[in-house]
Chains A and B, each alone.
Chain A
Amino acid sequence: DAKTTQPTSMDCAEGRAANLPCNHSTISGNEYVYWYRQIHSQGPQYIIHGLKNNETNEMASLIITEDRKSSTLILPHATLRDTAVYYCIVLGSYDKVIFGPGTSLSVIP
């Protein structure tokens, strides 16, 4: 069963913020929200993860709603190199990462 729902594709203008939504309405209390991305012909790259608080690192910010049923990954200043498929994944401890179709983000010059 798919634990997350993401839009199939999105476009973003270069230099603007890319906001990628994810719905995970059945998330349980001990499950984390993870984001990975896969640039064409490369292995997936870990971006960020969170439990209930908003998180920020050098790559992105993760905003999780108070009820934890949805989240948004924010790339503050998208570049052409951010064009990739982005995967939102819900994981409990010792779970294995199962990939859905993800969101194909195209950053446009």
Chain B
Amino acid sequence: GAVVSQHPSWVICKSGTSVKIECRSLDFQATTMFWYRQFPKQSLMLMATSNEGSKATYEQGVEKDKFLINHASLTLSTLTVTSAHPEDSSFYICSARDSSGSRTDTQYFGPGTRLTVL
């Protein structure tokens, strides 16, 4: 149980194009999902918190107009990197918090999406 999937697992795009990454909770509902970014040899950095049916909350320094987040259902959140540039190349990871009512609200992570912008 508690599986989170991401699609695609890797993507290569040209500079200036937009890329959409999907995050799905496969066997549980997630009111809240999170998006992280990880550069080589660094730890994961939280980018934004995605709440179903409402606007995402972005961490300081993350451009909301560049990283568009949509959380349209309890099992799906999408991250769109708009007008991607080489510096946006990174490993993007989502997580979903189990909303089953458990006191601890464990977060489960997806396998990540490797984005390379040429």
Stretch at the interface among B13-21, B77-85, B101-109: B101-109
Against A, the Cβ 8 Å flags (1 = close, 0 = not) of B73-106 are 0000000000000000001010100000001111
What's the Cα separation between A87 and B95 when bound, in Å?
A: 15
Are B49 and A93 closer than 8 Å at their CB atoms?
A: no
Other-chain residue from B2, B49, B104, B110 in contact with A43 (beta carbon distance below 8 A)? B110
With a cutoff of 8 Å between Cβ atoms, the chain B residues found around residue A46 in the complex are 2, 106-109
Inside 8 A of A38's CB, which chain B residues have their CB?
Answer: 44
Do A101 and B34 contact each other (CB < 8 Å), given the known contacts A43-B111, A94-B105?
no
Interface centre among A94, A97, A101 (most CB of B within 10 A): A97
Q: How far is the CA of A42 from the CA of B113 in the complex (A)?
A: 9
Give the residues from 31 to 60 in chain B that come closer than 8 angstroms, CB to CB, to chain A. Answer: 32, 34, 36, 43-46, 49
Contacts of A102 in B (CB 8 A): 43
**Contact at B107–A97, with CB atoms within 8 Å?**
yes
Q: Provide the residues of chain B in CB contact with A45, threshold 8 Å.
A: 109
Contact of B106 among A34, A87, A96, A98 (CB under 8 A): A34
Shortest distance in angstroms between B115's beta carbon and chain A's nearest beta carbon? 13
Any B CB within 8 A of the CB of A49: yes
A38 to B44, CA, bound (A): 10
A41 and B104 within 8 A (CB): no
Could you list 11 further interchain pairs (A-B, Cβ under 8 angstroms) beyond the known A41-B91, A99-B44?
Answer: A34-B106, A41-B114, A46-B2, A46-B107, A46-B108, A93-B103, A94-B32, A96-B34, A96-B49, A99-B36, A99-B46
List 15 contacting pairs A-B, 8 Å CB cutoff, sorted by A.
Answer: A34-B106, A36-B109, A42-B111, A43-B109, A43-B111, A44-B109, A46-B2, A46-B106, A46-B109, A87-B43, A93-B105, A96-B46, A96-B49, A99-B44, A100-B43
| A residues neighboring B (CB under 8 Å) | 32, 34, 36, 38, 41-46, 49, 85, 87, 91, 93-94, 96-102
